[in-house]
Amino acid sequence: MARLVVKSHRPLQMALAIVVLSMFIAIATWLLLDRSHWSLIYDRFNESRQRRLLWEVNQGLEEENTRLRESVMMLERTTALDRQTAAMVQDEITELQKEVFRLKGELEFYQGVMEATGQGKSLDVHGIFVRPLSHRDGYRLKTILTHVVNTDAVAEGVMRIRIEGIQEGNTRFLDLKDVTLDSGLDLTFKFRNFKRFESNLAFPADFSPQRVFVELQPKGQKEANIKKVFDWPESAG
């Protein structure tokens, strides 16, 4: 007796399997045949990554360069400040040395005054002291008078000061009242032991002082005029 065999017919599944197999074969073939394409993609990926690394390194170098530039600028400012400070200190030292020299000269001057007062010279012009002023051709002139006697007598009179110098090759005398910068100059004196006259003066630009003439005219007829001549101090210029 013959058997009847029933087989299922699935044409869609067969077709799908054929399509999937075909796609797989096509993709495999494409991958195998297009290695250069994938190599290019890989190379570009690596290149992009290297560029990013280089960009990060460059950013770090720029930041370091900025920091170093700021450090250099700070050092330059500090160096300039140090130079300015050193110059200021040097100027102050120079001014202090000048002041010490001036005070030393005045000390020696007044020590001489004290020695003169112990010698009993009666009315006398002990000396002069000259120092330059800050403005051009300006000077500070000090004149010291002494009067040492055994009594309480007072020295009284008037003083005249003239400065001898060279102007345009000729000798010229300038009276103190003509070159003083003090409007209230008073050269009369009345003192017992010690008297100091001070006056700021300025010479013409072409006048070179050489000597100072001091004359005392005591009040009354018993005492003769006292005249002294002093060389212009070299330190005064």
Range 112-141 average pLDDT: 75
Range 54-74 average pLDDT: 83
Burial class of residue 27 in the structure, from the number of CB atoms within 10 Å of its CB (0-12 exposed, 13-18 middle, 19+ buried):
exposed
User: Using CA atoms, how far apart are residues 148 and 121, in angstroms rounded to an integer?
Assistant: 6
Range 31-38 average pLDDT: 58
More confident residue, 179 or 105: 179
What's the domain count of the chain?
Answer: 2
Residue-averaged pLDDT of the chain: 79
User: Using CA atoms, how far apart are residues 5 and 21, in angstroms rounded to an integer?
Assistant: 30
pLDDT value at 113 more than 60: no
The lowest-confidence range among 37-46, 174-183, 186-195 is 37-46
More confident residue, 36 or 199: 199
Domain CATH code at residue 179:
2.60.40.10
Nearest to 147 by CA among 107, 117, 108, 118: 117
Q: How many residues does the chain have?
A: 237
Q: Clarify whether residues 95 and 175 are in a common domain.
A: no
Please report whether residue 74 resides in a domain. Answer: yes
Can you read off the two tokens belonging to residue 124? 């006398």
Q: By three-state DSSP, how is residue 86 classified?
A: helix
Instruction: Please tell me the pTM assigned to this model.
Output: 0.52
Q: By three-state DSSP, how is residue 10 classified?
A: coil
Please report whether residue 187 resides in a domain. Answer: yes
Q: Which amino acid makes up residue 29?
A: T
Please enumerate in sequence order all residues whose Cβ is within 8 A of that of 199, keeping only pairs 6 or more positions apart, or say none.
Answer: 140, 141, 176, 180, 181, 182, 185
In sequence order, the β-bridge partners of residue 131 are: 140
The answer to whether 198 and 130 are in contact (CB under 8 A) is no
Q: Which residues form the domain of 65?
A: 42-117
Q: Clarify whether residues 125 and 220 are in a common domain.
A: yes
